[in-house]
Structure 1
Amino acid sequence: MRISRFASLLLLATACVPLGTPITSTSPAATGTQKAPEYYADKTLRYQDYTYSPDVRSVQCYVATGQPNEVFQPPVVPLGRSQAITLEFDVLGEQSQRYTAKLIHCDANWQPSVLTDMQFLSEINEFLVTDYRVGINTKVPYFHYRLRAPGVKLSGNYLLVVQSPGSVPLVSRRLLVYENQVQVALKPGIVIGGAERYTLQQLDFGIGYSSVNLVNPMSEVKVVLRQNFRWDNAKYNLRPTFVRDAERRLEYQYFGFENAFPGLSEYRFFDTRSVQAAGIGVLRIDPQATPVAATLQPEASRAKQAYNQYQDANGQRVFESREFGNGDTNADYVDVTFQLKAEQPAPGPVYVLGALTDWQLKDEFKLTYDEGKQLYTGHALLKQGYYNYSFAVGAARGAAPNEVYFEGSHQETENQYDLLVYYRPPGTRADLLIGYQTVGVNNRQ
């Protein structure tokens, strides 16, 4: 699931097919007639990537590099570059609002730390969001907002929170600021097992600390291993299996797949960058509907299919309008209908999953099963663009979604992985992010 050559994919010509049967939109955000999903009912601040209002759409948090694919860069920067992290989002409606932002320093477990603002910031911890523009000639009115994260003094975990008047949270995003005090060796490994070697991807790693004095590293060093920069299925509480004091090195060698992930499949995709003709993955589009309606091609389970290699964007998406360019303000919103063929219901609720859902099982992306048609369907209001997504079955509370049920799993799939290394020096009150490294598995160069 590689993004390095994604720019070439964006240049594919949109397929032209006849327009299909009109679809009547019933999106709550579009019509304003339905009750907001329960997901948005609780406005309590969560220390995670979260959207607190159904009017907030198309949130992107990335590192501004000036390159074409910068929106795919996760909000992870070395100390001294935190101001490069950019947050963008839309708010549906015809009136702009006054929003402020603040930064919350968190510990390694994403709980607020005891540090005062001035211990990690050099300015007042309240930032007025002044960069906003109105959507131009769109059927769904919205305002597009953008802000840069402030500079910070310490490495570690931060939560960037945008608030509406009354300190009601609107959107929150996790940011990572690191410093390479230790030497992280992260590399693809070989799965030792039976059938697992065909479906899992293992990451082997070690940490060298010759240049820094770590006190009791066996218990004080914490690591987090992520796939495609996701938090929902990350590996936590991985403890070193060996501490080599003479070499000043921590070894992490496991035999129970603690450091392995399902490889899954390359992500499904669709293209709604044009509202005049159906793009790739789109069955039909109705530009006369308000909002524009698009029905995607019926998909099927890939659980028993062979691996299929193609270029994807690791579950991400990019906003763009083919007719007018500049996806920030010229892209309209489309009522997208998802379709998934299934001979029988799954063993749990089925959702669309990806960056378009904040990697969460949201009510508005839940699919409904029609036993007569043997078809799951659901729809969501999405900004024009190119999207990656998967189908996932909801698991028990607190467990990662089950993507393998519909997507299958292959060790040949391209994925990105990163390792976060935390340490709290004795006598201090902050968990520092002292090491960070990324590695690609099955990179397509």
Structure 2
Amino acid sequence: MPRLLPLAALLLATACVPLGTPITDPNAARRPASQQPAPGYYADKTIRYEDYVYNPDVRSVQCYVATGQPTEVFQPPVVPLSQGQPVTLEFDLLGSTSQRFTAKLVHCDANWQPSVLTDMQFLSEINEFLITDYRTGVGTKVPFYHYRLQMPRVKLSGNYLLLVQSQGGVPVLSRRVLVYENQVEVSLRQGIPVAGAERYTMQQVDFAINYGGLNLVNPAQEVKVMLRQNFRWDNAKYNLRPTFVRDADRRLEYQYFNFENAFAAGNEFRFFDLRSLRVMGAGMAQLDPNTSPRSVALTPETTRNGQAYSQYDDINGQRVFENREYGNGATNGDYANVTFQLRAEQQAPGPVYILGALTDWKLKDEFRMSYDPETQQYSAQVLLKQGYYNYTYVVAKPGAVPDGVYFEGSHQETENQYDLLVYYRPPGTRADLLIGYQAIDINSRQR
């Protein structure tokens, strides 16, 4: 599993004290016009085999490995086949009425399409799990119920979609989960982009796969690999083929020269501290405790593109829910209308969005910013739960990965995490197994 930054120390250092039917929207009348969800995003209930939220009242979704450590929420849902530490799913349902939710697992192939396996081929129990662990929010202006579920153990490695449904089988949310077994030896190392200026703005990951203990018939064609940055799916590298096949050594090497395995390094993520709604935390400019929900305006920000790199610890786009005064952000964390402000002398060459784990790494309509030419400023108001957040500003590009460099810049000194997924389907079988997994932290602050 990947190494983590000293996040508990980082968060504690900034704190004063320790840390039914979902189709209808019963709370729509409570929300201001700016918080009314875009109907198109939530209207389509077609199951998507990705991280997705289908109900506008479902918020603050976290899917992680329960390690028992303060930083467990930053562990991506990636577990060995032994599953000694379970994958945990948590989410909130806004409103004063609880709902009956069930969960199921969908086994998927390497391309995240449903496989042809029956439930009993990857599970030892009935594939329907009633979520019975739920509690109401305590002392909050915005009423909600907090739900929690541990994923059941599976018998095969590979890709799984954890799907939560309401009565009638209507999808509520879905999360991707990876279960791996190290049948091959994966080695990762930081490479150097073969170019001029790119070596100062990009990060390259070279890797190799040793398959000495596994009888692979045609490894160059049958082994599939995928490379991710900060556990994101939106900018992952797919269908990478080996550049060298060393049959005598039973080794596949992946060393590219056209940036196939290189990512824009980006910048350390922006952050704000919303763990208190009584006093202003880092990144907050205004706080109105008398509104319902409470209103928070973040400090107006500017572009960082073209500026020198500044080193500080971030949490790689993640967030943690917490209430500074009472702890237990799961049930004590209230919701607030948070206004983001970004100054820009002119409009960007495309729509501007807030991006991070708070958006599921997607360009959601509610996180799209509007531009005011008179004030020369982008702004967006979003309903968020109390916590500590990382985020970034990106520019949408049709048919391409969002441009995070336009406002943030890119520096090879940036700390990022990368992980590699290795898939293989043995001859005569019907399942893509995840036979190797490894992660690396580039420019780690841990020494």
Q: Which TM-score bucket, shorter chain as reference?
A: over 0.9
1:29 shift after superposition: 8.3
Query: Structure 1's 29 and 298: CA in aligned 2 closer, same or farther, altered over 3 A?
Result: farther
Which residue does 1:407 correspond to in 2?
408
Please state how far the C-alpha of 1:159 moved relative to its aligned partner.
0.2
What is the alpha-carbon distance in structure 2 between the residues aligned to residue 359 and residue 99 of structure 1?
A: 25
- Which residue does 2:31 correspond to in 1? 31
Q: Distance in 1 between matches of 2:84 and 2:103?
A: 15
Partners of 2:336 and 2:30 lie apart in 1 by: 9
What is the distance in 2 between the residues matched to 1:416 and 1:6? 14
Secondary structure at the counterpart of residue 329 of structure 1: helix
Residues 264 and 408, structure 1, Cα contact 8 Å, conserved in 2: yes
CA distance in 1, matches of 2:196, 2:109: 39
Secondary structure of the corresponding residue to residue 315 of structure 2:
coil
**Separation (CA, whole Å) in 2 of partners of 1:148 and 1:121:** 14
Residue 422 of structure 1: aligned partner: 423
Query: Deviations along 1:15-58, whole A, 9 cap, x unmatched?
Result: 9xxxxxxxxxxx96852767531211111100000000110000
Q: CA deviation at 1:242?
A: 1.4
Per the alignment, residue 434 of structure 2 pairs with 433
d(CA) in 1 for partners of 2:337, 2:325: 18
1:247 corresponds to which letter in structure 2? Answer: D
Provide TM-score, normalisation by structure 2: 0.95
Aligned in 2, Cα 1:278/1:41: closer, same or farther, shift over 3 Å?
same
| Corresponding residue for residue 200 of structure 1 | 202
Structure 1, 361-370 or 3-12: larger mean CA deviation? 3-12
Letter in 1 for 2:439: T
Q: How far apart, in 1, do the equivalents of 2:126 and 2:234 lie?
A: 32
- 2:215 is paired with a residue of what secondary structure? coil
Name which of 374, 378, 381 aligns with 2:380.
378
Aligned AA (1:237): N
Looking at structure 1, the residues matched to 29 and 198 of structure 2 have their Cα atoms a distance apart, in angstroms, of: 43
What secondary structure, in the 3-state scheme, does the structure 2 residue paired with 1:9 have? helix
Structure 2 residue aligned with 1:23: none
- Tell me, what secondary structure is at the counterpart of 2:407? helix
Query: Which residue of the other structure, out of 84, 97, 100, is the alignment partner of 1:98?
Result: 100
Give the CA deviation at 1:3. Answer: 4.5
Partner of 1:62: 64
Cα distance in 2 between the residues matched to 1:312 and 1:156 = 30
> Which one of 224, 239, 246 corresponds to residue 237 of structure 1?
239
Aligned to 2:365: 363
After superposition, the C-alpha distances for 1:255-278 in whole angstroms (9 at most, x for unaligned) are 001000011000000001110111
What amino acid maps onto 2:31 in structure 1? T
Inter-CA distance 369–29: structure 2 relative to 1 (3 Å threshold): farther
The alignment partner of 1:57 has SS state of strand
Q: Any idea what SS the aligned residue of 2:338 has?
A: strand
Corresponding position of 1:133: 135
Q: Residue 101 of structure 1 contacts residue 129 of structure 1 at CA under 8 Å; is this kept in 2? A: yes
Answer whether contact 1:313 1:388 (CA < 8 A) is retained. yes
Conserved? CA contact 2:66–2:85, under 8 Å: no
Counterpart contact for 2:341–2:377, Cα < 8 Å: yes
Unaligned runs of 5+ in 1: 16-26
Mapped contact 1:228–1:417 kept (Cα < 8 A): yes
User: Displacement of 1:83 after TM fit?
Assistant: 6.3
Shift of 1:192: 1.6
Partner of 1:151: 153
Following superposition, which runs of at least 4 residues in structure 1 exceed 4 angstroms of deviation?
Answer: 27-30, 32-35
- Structure-2 residue corresponding to 1:392: 394
| Corresponding letter in the other structure for 2:427 | P
Could you give the per-residue CA deviations for residues 330-365 of structure 1, whole angstroms, max 9, x where no partner exists?
010010000000010001000000000000000000
Aligned to 2:252: 250
Query: Which residue identity lines up with residue 181 of structure 1 in the other structure?
Result: Q
| Counterpart code for 2:304 | R
SS of the residue corresponding to residue 118 of structure 1 reads helix
Identity %: 69
Conservation of the 8 A alpha-carbon contact between 1:285 and 1:295:
yes
Q: Distance in 2 between matches of 1:3 and 1:28?
A: 39
Aligned partners of 2:67 and 2:85 also within 8 Å = no
Give 3-state SS (helix, strand or coil) of 2:375's partner.
Answer: coil
Q: Which amino acid aligns with 1:390?
A: T
Alignment of 1:322-361 (within 5 A): 322-361=324-363
* CA offsets 1:202-252 (integer angstroms, 9 cap, x no match): 000010000000111111100000000000000001001111111100111
Question: Partner of 1:181 in structure 2?
Answer: 183
Separation in structure 1 between the aligned mates of residue 338 and residue 30 of structure 2, nearest angstrom: 12
Which residue of 1 is the match for residue 19 of structure 2?
none
- The code of the aligned residue for 1:31 comes to R
The amino acid that maps onto 2:61 is V
CA contact (8 A) 1:108 1:156 kept: yes
Contact kept in structure 2, 1:200 and 1:409, CA below 8 Å: yes
Which stretch of structure 1 is more off in the superposition, 116-125 or 2-11?
2-11
Alpha-carbon offset, residue 13 of structure 1: 4.1
Structure 2 partner of 1:214: 216
Give the conservation status (yes or no) of the 8 Å contact 1:14–1:277.
Answer: no
Query: Matched residues in 1 for 2:92 and 2:162: separation?
Result: 16
Q: Which amino acid aligns with 2:163?
A: V
CA contact (8 A) 2:37 2:366 kept: no
Contact 1:3 1:311 in 2 (8 A): no
Q: How does 1:276-287 map to 2 (within 5 A)?
A: 276-287=278-289
What SS does the aligned partner of 1:300 have? coil
Q: AA paired with 1:269?
A: F
In structure 2, the CA distance between the partners of 1:2 and 1:152, relative to structure 1 (3 Å rule), is closer
Q: Secondary structure at the match of 2:200?
A: helix
Rate the CA distance shift 1:14–1:210 in 2: closer, same or farther, 3 A. Answer: closer
- CA distance in 2 between partners of 1:193 and 1:240 (Å): 21
1:291–1:410 Cα change, 3 Å: same
Q: Cα distance, 1:82 vs. partner?
A: 7.1
> After superposition, what is the alpha-carbon deviation per residue over 1:178-203, rounded to whole angstroms, capped at 9, x for unaligned?
00000101111112210000000000
TM-score, structure 1 length as denominator? Answer: 0.95
